[in-house]
């Protein structure tokens, strides 16, 4: 049987500072294929080449990946400053309406890092340009040195709301995660529920209240070692099940109990 398709949001990238590509991390592809059990498809996130209506029909679910460029502050009513870093307006033009359409349709998505921030902005929320500049906050950015294993190492706890969806999914109210981000949620968007926080008060886990589909999103990077990590695996497994359920309903098939 053909696996359901998960669209993985790609990022604009330059190879050798000259050759333009749309790129996605292999760890995202691996997590979607090997843990979620879905067919990964990289999306060229540019409205010149794709549109939201096409993506909704072509894919059964979406992974909103991390990426170095940030959501442009104009998307949440603020002026651009040097602290906001680099941007990808083409990705903004695809992902923000895509999130809102998925919420309305009940189509599943999983937001990761920038994707987590996109979900908040899409629902009317705002972002801090630099978390580490806020009083009492830790530096959540990727360590500048070390191997990939060291950069993605577990660095802080995340505590979930007791009895909330993340607590129920993980089977624990407190977990350890990596952290590789500069920005973070300032004002939650409409229907955005913050379900998990880092020890310094930074929001780390959200979902969209009342949404018919899977909308869990996290500020950390669960795609790293997703098949083995006890926090990442249940997240990608649950997302995969939601995508399979969506695909089954779309095709008119009746799901059978295992």
Q: Please count the residues of the chain.
A: 258
**Angstrom distance (rounded) from CA 122 to CA 113:** 14
Contacts of 17 (CB under 8 A, 6+ apart): none
Q: Which of 75, 118, 204, 223 is catalytic?
A: 223
Verify whether residue 223 is a known catalytic residue. Answer: yes
Question: Is 221 an active-site residue?
Answer: yes
CA distances from 257 to 113, 178, 245, 254 (A): 34, 35, 12, 10
- Per DSSP, what are the bridge partners of residue 237? none
How far is residue 218's CA from residue 139's CA, in Å, rounded to a whole number?
Answer: 17
For residues 12 and 200, give the distance between their C-alpha atoms in angstroms, rounded to a whole number: 32
Tell me, yes or no, if 149 is annotated catalytic: no
Cβ distance 214 to 240 under 8 Å? no
Selecting among 72, 181, 221, 244, the annotated active-site residue is 221
Radius of gyration (C-alpha) of the chain in whole angstroms? 17
Query: What element of type H or E holds 250?
Result: helix 232-251
Catalytic residue among 12, 113, 130, 244: 113
CA torsion sign for 254, 53, 69, 22 is: positive
H/E stretch holding 199 reads none
Q: State the catalytic residues.
A: 113, 221, 223
């Amino acid at each position: 049987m053909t696996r359901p398709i998960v669209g993985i949001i790609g990022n604009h990238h330059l190879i050798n500072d000259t050759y333009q590509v749309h790129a996605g991390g292999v760890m995202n592809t691996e997590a979607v294929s090997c843990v979620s059990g879905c067919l990964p498809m990289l999306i060229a996130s540019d409205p010149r080449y794709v549109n939201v209506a096409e993506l909704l029909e072509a894919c059964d679910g979406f992974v909103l990946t991390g990426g170095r460029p940030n959501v442009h502050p104009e998307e949440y009513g603020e002026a651009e400053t040097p602290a906001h870093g680099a941007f990808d307006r083409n990705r903004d033009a695809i992902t923000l309406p895509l999130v809102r359409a998925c919420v309305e349709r009940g189509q599943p998505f999983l937001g990761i890092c920038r994707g987590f921030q996109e979900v908040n902005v899409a629902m009317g929320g705002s972002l801090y340009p630099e978390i580490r500049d806020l009083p009492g906050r830790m530096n959540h950015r990727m360590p500048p040195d070390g191997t990939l294993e060291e950069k993605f190492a577990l660095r802080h706890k995340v505590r979930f709301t007791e009895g909330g969806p993340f607590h129920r999914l993980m089977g624990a109210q407190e977990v350890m995660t990596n952290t590789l981000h500069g920005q973070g949620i300032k004002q939650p968007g409409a229907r955005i529920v913050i379900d998990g926080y880092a020890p310094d008060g930074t929001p780390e886990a959200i979902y969209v209240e009342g949404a018919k589909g899977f909308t869990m999103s996290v500020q950390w990077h669960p795609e790293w070692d997703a098949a083995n990590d006890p926090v990442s695996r249940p997240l990608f497994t649950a997302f995969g099940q939601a995508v399979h359920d969506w695909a089954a309903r779309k095709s008119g098939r009746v799901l059978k109990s295992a």
